[in-house]
Amino acid sequence: MILDRVNYPQDLKSLSYDELKTLASEMRELIIKKVNTTGGHMGPNLGVVEATIAMHYVFNTPADKIVYDVSHQCYPHKILTGRKEGFTNPDKYLTYTGYTAPEESAYDLFKVGHTSTSVSLATGVAKARDLKGENYNVIALIGDGSLTGGEALEGLDNAATLGSNIIIVVNDNEMSIAENHGGIYDNLKLLRDSNGSAEPNFFKTLGFEYHYVENGNSIEDLIETFKSVKDTNHPVVVHIRTLKGCGLSVAENNKEAFHWIMPGTLDQTDNSSVFYGESYESITKDFISKKVEEKSPVCVVVAGTPGVFGYDKSYRENLGKHYTDVGIAEEHAVAYSSAMAKSGAKPILCLMSSFVQRTYDQMSQDLCLNNSPVTMLIYWGGLSDADATHLCSFDMPLISNIPNMVYLAPTNKEEYLAMLEYSYNQNEHPVAIRVPSCGLISAGIADQTDYSKINKFSMTENGEKIAIIGLGNFYNLAKEVKEEIKSKLGINSTLINPKFISGIDTEMLEGLKANHNLVITLEDGMLDGGFGEKITRYYGNSNMRVLNFGGTKEFTDRVPLSELYEKYHLTKEQIADDAKKCLNDIFAVC
Amino acid sequence: MILDRVNYPQDLKSLSYDELKTLASEMRELIIKKVNTTGGHMGPNLGVVEATIAMHYVFNTPADKIVYDVSHQCYPHKILTGRKEGFTNPDKYLTYTGYTAPEESAYDLFKVGHTSTSVSLATGVAKARDLKGENYNVIALIGDGSLTGGEALEGLDNAATLGSNIIIVVNDNEMSIAENHGGIYDNLKLLRDSNGSAEPNFFKTLGFEYHYVENGNSIEDLIETFKSVKDTNHPVVVHIRTLKGCGLSVAENNKEAFHWIMPGTLDQTDNSSVFYGESYESITKDFISKKVEEKSPVCVVVAGTPGVFGYDKSYRENLGKHYTDVGIAEEHAVAYSSAMAKSGAKPILCLMSSFVQRTYDQMSQDLCLNNSPVTMLIYWGGLSDADATHLCSFDMPLISNIPNMVYLAPTNKEEYLAMLEYSYNQNEHPVAIRVPSCGLISAGIADQTDYSKINKFSMTENGEKIAIIGLGNFYNLAKEVKEEIKSKLGINSTLINPKFISGIDTEMLEGLKANHNLVITLEDGMLDGGFGEKITRYYGNSNMRVLNFGGTKEFTDRVPLSELYEKYHLTKEQIADDAKKCLNDIFAVC
């Protein structure tokens, strides 16, 4: 194998084009096998094998710097930069992250998982080079799907004025995660269709020198073009047309499904393992379909990740005008939804917890300051074993501290549906709902709560001494804690389902003072700035003890959930134990 | 006067071009007089008088909808939409806000003060119209300076694909607040220089039909063009060239200084009233100049608002390569600075509190996850009597709850300088400093604190029973509260200057338990998610009482500061009184 002779980029320099092509095949085979075993980003990485080889062949990394965007395309890069064992040796499959990671390699500049960042980051690298009087190439790789993000567009606008070396490689595989949406894609098509010669040209309008490579999976063509722009003294865009999933026909033909795959996907002979049961995604879709049938002006809004919410291609097509994918453009998604709601339509904006943080000012100014009755659905919120770039533990502090926002945490299917109906029908506030990420639970009976009574908690079991407030995903943990305390301490605790994240029920909290000594709060997210602290602040001026349980302010990286729970004292045993110590202390004082 | 006959847009329809021109002069005169009396945005409003008249002449507002961006250009619009008394009658000068405000008028669609929003919002309005089967024109007005914001670019990309009526009026006065920066401005210049005919054309690349009006202060030309695009069935851009400050020569010739003026600016015969004394701005500039002299790779980064930080034109020019104005592009500013710091340069990123919220994901992902040693200076943070769109009370919850971020609150000049040096010289963390907004105070002796000892509070006076923790701007209030408590309750309180916003000194807090019953926290910002709650959470499991003082989670709108303080119990008398009640309660219990 050629790959046996290639450990670092310098090993490429002596290879012939034929050998480089063979190397590409070998790498592709490794990626397919590894990703099918562990799960991961299949299509984007297969498409960029040749470009990665060509970049490392032409440029002198790590002296020359390549900045990856979103890192979905970094597997070939990892193979060529000292980490091929992560692909050749199944025992090491999980050794390296799926994203660029400076702690792994000097060839990785930044830890990146959210998209649209590479151009901005590369511009900063180039500026530092110029300030220090150094001399090297700075290359940013960005996918076509990432171009619509505000940060990418801001970055391109500024990069164009850098006045020195920067090379932006636009990897155009004609896809975002799903299909592309946005005016810029018509221009990319025009450029592809004209072999790069058409006017108008988006990149040229900003001031970039522009190059087009029609066959972005041809190592020769790429090497030739990269050589021609190497050591440029001004900003350059190299637009390369690649094939997402290249070399794996099922991925080439199912680009969306093979953007990211589950382990073993290639081994399935049918779709029997796919889950078609009831889920929060399915009941949301049913809710929306019903509104469409009723001829309501409903509009589902997503920002480039429809699959996360279960909006498959046929569902999207059926929605027709009732569906907008704005592309990767969360800021616009919020402002757009706000204006729609203010104008009498009924937007349902769906965002992942990790990506809602890409739009704060718009939530504050465009949405909440204007008190627009948008329904926001926040998915996947909670502590997780995710990569540090995709944590979902910050949405509660972020969203719930914006004035006017009503942020709700259902604990089961019926509550979720009742909240969805409430939000959809009201015209008073922006409402966000944290869709449970702990699996669908049904209470079996409809929830009749009037959610227009803002910040009204629900006391589900009336006890004494200890009150346990279990928010959203952690309401079931609260129930377990109650049982644990009952069995260990013989105390019949009060159990509360707060339902509201963004405010507190002062009347209920005040009432607890009569026969409770300790309030326990449980939240599935970072404690700092979150829900529990609001409770604690309320009781600051009283002799009520409060214990807040949740996550610490930190970036965790692929830490197993059980380990995180143990660390944060989030097991029922630890919580009961902490409660016991606290009670002992109270009685010692009194 | 023509204006006597004009109260609402329909009153324009019967006027001749000559009468419209006279009306423009009358309106201009009113704006100059009013703005010079109250202060406000002068240049932008003078530039857009004719365009406002022409829009209201051609379109049928409020059935047709005009969405304003940043609202700096809404004064002429207010005059024509039932609010002219706010300009004719000095007693009513302060009746209306300087921004669009739906509560004032059906002609105002959104409350807007942060920029780059109009295209996104207008797209949402148009989408709602289409969903509801309605039929009207949607017009977005956006200034050239606002085009570089990610939200505007995301919005344009999506608006271009709307497939129905939307008219985007690009008001090109060749200026942002200061000069423009970014590749897009070269394209605007090319378009202006070619009377709109040049290729490449930024707007056409996205798919817009494009119209150019060379004389954007000609009512006839504007009316003619607006008539030609009225009722379009597809997305259109009308690029109009206007003169910032038009009709007031001093404003035409000093565009930056007359973007926004203080009351009475036109009446000054010289600059003698300008303050040239020492300020946080001046000592920051001195610090930077010294670093430049030392040949350090320092780089000041701003996002379109250099004047706020005292970076006047000559200072900026002197900085040369050590200065980057990225344009209104806060997201890029953060990522760019992060990459620069990671690459060995020394960025000092300056942002206003109200605008730092335009970049959260970049602070989290590009900056803090990568632990890049950027120095961020946050200006104007604190409760204020500002318009609801420009509040500065949210930066502490926003910034301080991001992992790895060190957020510092100096209380005087020497601490500020020591923190600046610390931040500049270290390579461990992103550091943000909340530049005091309460005026420069000097301690007279250099601060020798080692700020690398993260979260180490300073106990400045050692007392008993009550500990007062006064953060940043409110440290002086804490000193006053201590005196008040001493005189009213005879208690010698402990006084603490925490210096760190983003973490707590658990050792010191633990130590307070020995001889304190009550901890008081004071912070100049919203309490929710802020500093005080971290202290309260720490003490949740103890019998220490904690009172948190700060702002409530709400959008306040031009409320006098004294009124806000009273409402939030932020006077020394109220705080001492609350402390007394709390102590009485403790003794009653024990």
Which residue from A minimizes the CA distance to B582? A541
Instruction: Kindly give the residue spans of alpha helices, DSSP state H, lying in B231-387.
Output: 249-253, 280-293, 313-319, 330-342, 353-356, 361
Per-residue pLDDT at B270 exceeds 80: no
Residue A143's H or E segment, with its range, is strand A138-143
Does pLDDT of B103 surpass 70? yes
Per the CB < 8 Å rule, is A332 touching B120?
yes
A121, A332, A342 ranked by CB distance to B338: nearest:
A121
pLDDT beyond 80 at A548? yes
Whole-number CA gyration radius for chain B: 26
With contacts defined as CB-CB under 8 Å, which chain A residues touch B332?
120, 123, 151, 154-155, 157-158
Q: What are the E-state strand segments in B52-137?
A: 65-68
Q: Is residue B280 within 8 Å of residue B416, measured between CB atoms?
A: yes
Cβ atoms B530, B400 nearer than 8 A: yes
Q: The sheet that has B375-379: what strands, in order across it?
A: B323-325, B298-302, B346-352, B375-379, B431-434, B406-408
From A333, which residue of chain B is nearest by alpha-carbon distance? B120
The mean per-residue pLDDT over the stretch A67-81 comes to: 93
The sign of the torsion formed by the CA atoms of B303, B304, B308, B313 equals: positive
Q: Which residues of A touch B65 (CB under 8 A)?
A: 343
Find tokens 């001829």 and name the residue. Answer: A295
What are phi and psi for residue B41, nearest 5 degrees? Answer: -85, 110
pLDDT of A415 higher than 50: yes
pLDDT at B589 over 60: no
Binary contact (B153, A150; C-beta < 8 A): yes
CA neighbor of A246 nearest in space, from A498, A569, A27: A27
Complete edge-to-edge strand list for the sheet that includes strand A65-68: A65-68, A138-143, A166-172, A235-241, A209-213
Rg of chain A's alpha carbons, rounded to an integer? Answer: 26
CB B177 within 8 A of CB B311: no
Q: Do B154 and A157 touch (CB under 8 A)?
A: no
Query: Which of A328, A327, A321, A326 lies closest to A337 in space, CA to CA?
Result: A326
Q: How far apart are alpha carbons B470 and B455 in whole angstroms?
A: 15
Residue B72 corresponds to which tokens in the numbers above?
């700096």
Structure tokens at B77: 């619009």
Alpha helices in A266-393 (DSSP H): 280-293, 313-319, 330-342, 353-356, 361
Determine the residue type at A485. I
Using pLDDT thresholds of 50, 70 and 90, give the confidence band for residue A464. very high
Yes or no, beta carbons of A537 and B548 under 8 Å apart? yes
Q: How far apart are CA A349 and CA B574, in angstroms?
A: 44
Q: Which of B65, B27, B22 is nearest to B45 (CA)?
A: B27
What are the counts of helices (DSSP H) followed by strands (DSSP E) for chain B? 23, 18
Q: Region B3-10: what's the mean pLDDT?
A: 98
Q: What is the end-to-end Cα distance of chain A in Å, rounded? A: 76
The pLDDT score that the predictor gives to residue A130 is 97
Q: Cis check for the bond before B200: say yes or no (omega within 30 of 0).
A: yes
Contacts of A186 in chain B (CB under 8 A): 160-161, 206-207
Say if residue B19's pLDDT is above 60. Answer: yes
Alpha carbon distance B139, B133 (integer Å): 18
A79 within 8 A of A87, measured Cβ to Cβ = yes
- For residue A324, what are the β-bridge partners? A301
Partner residue facing A121 (CB), from B122, B366, B554:
B366
Q: Which residues pair with A167 in a beta bridge?
A: A139, A236
Query: Tens digits of per-residue pLDDT, B163-195?
Result: 999 999 999 999 888 899 999 999 999 999 999
Q: Is B413 helix (H, G, I), strand (E, B) or coil?
A: helix
Whether the Cβ atoms of residue B148 and residue B156 lie closer than 8 Å to each other: no
Query: Among all chains, which residue has been given the structure tokens 């000068």?
Result: B93
Q: Is A585 within 8 Å of B113 when comparing Cβ atoms?
A: no
Length of chain A in terms of residues written: 590
pLDDT class for B269, splitting at 50, 70, 90?
low
In sign, the C-alpha dihedral spanning B509, B510, B514, B519 is positive
Calpha distance A348→A175 (Å, rounded) = 24
B-chain CB neighbours of A122 within 8 Å are 339
Beta strand ranges found along A250-405 (DSSP E): 260-261, 298-302, 323-325, 346-352, 375-379
Do residues A137 and A176 lie in contact, with contact meaning Cβ atoms separated by under 8 Å?
Answer: no
Whether pLDDT at A483 is above 70: yes
Q: What are the strands of the beta sheet with B458-461, ordered from one edge?
A: B458-461, B494-497, B465-470, B516-526, B545-551
Per-chain mean pLDDT for chain B: 96
Q: Are strands B494-497 and B458-461 parallel, antiparallel or unpaired?
A: antiparallel
Tokens 């002429």 -> residue: B76
User: Are B327 and B178 contacting, i.e. CB atoms less than 8 angstroms apart?
Assistant: no
Distances in Å between the Cα of A257 and the Cα atoms of A304, B211, B232 are: 14, 42, 38
Q: Give contacts of A154 with chain B, Cβ < 8 Å.
A: 148-150, 153, 326-327, 329, 331-332
pLDDT of B134 reads 97
**CB–CB of B335 and A121 under 8 A?**
yes
d(C-alpha A226, C-alpha A213), whole Å = 10
Q: pLDDT for B152-161, tens place per residue? A: 999 999 999 9
In A, which residues are within 8 Å of B540 by CB distance? 536, 539, 545-548
Give, in degrees to the nearest 5, the angle at Cα A145 between A162 and A396.
95
A299-337 pLDDT, tens per residue?
999 999 999 999 999 999 999 999 999 999 999 999 999
| A58 three-class SS | helix
Mind listing the pLDDT tens digit for each residue in B414-449? 999 999 999 999 999 999 999 999 889 999 999 999
Residue B438: its pLDDT value, please?
87
CB contact under 8 A, B122 and A201: no
Asked if the Cβ–Cβ distance from B158 to A327 is below 8 Å, we say yes
State yes or no: pLDDT of A271 exceeds 90: no
Q: Do A127 and B345 touch (CB under 8 A)?
A: yes
ipTM comes to: 0.96
Number of alpha helices (DSSP H) and beta strands (DSSP E) in chain A: 23, 18
B219-228 pLDDT, tens digit per residue, is 999 999 999 9
Instruction: Indicate whether B276 pLDDT > 90.
Output: no
At CA B384, angle to CA B383 and CA B387, rounded to 5?
125
Pairs of residues, one from chain A and one from chain B, whose beta carbons lie less than 8 Å apart: 420
CB contact under 8 A, B125 and A158: no
In the predicted model, is pLDDT for residue A153 greater than 80? yes
pLDDT band at A475 (very low <50, low <70, confident <90, very high): very high
Query: Do residues B496 and B459 lie in contact, with contact meaning Cβ atoms separated by under 8 Å?
Result: yes
Q: What is the mean pLDDT of chain A?
A: 96
- Predicted pLDDT of residue A72: 83
Q: What is the pLDDT of residues A507-545, one digit of tens each?
A: 999 999 999 999 999 999 999 999 999 999 999 999 999
Is residue B467 within 8 A of residue B494, CB to CB? The reply is: yes
Query: Residue B176 has what pLDDT?
Result: 87
Q: Tell me which residue in A155, A361, A364 faces B335 most closely, judged by beta carbons.
A: A155
3-state secondary structure at position B548: strand
Sheet holding B65-68, edge to edge: B65-68, B138-143, B166-172, B235-241, B209-213
pLDDT above 50 for A272: no
CA angle (B218, B219, B223) in 5-degree steps: 120
Distances (CA, A) of A19 to A32, A195, A220: 20, 28, 12
Q: For residue B377, what are the β-bridge partners?
A: B350, B433
Average pLDDT over residues A548-576: 98
> CA–CA separation, A156 vs A117, rounded Å?
10
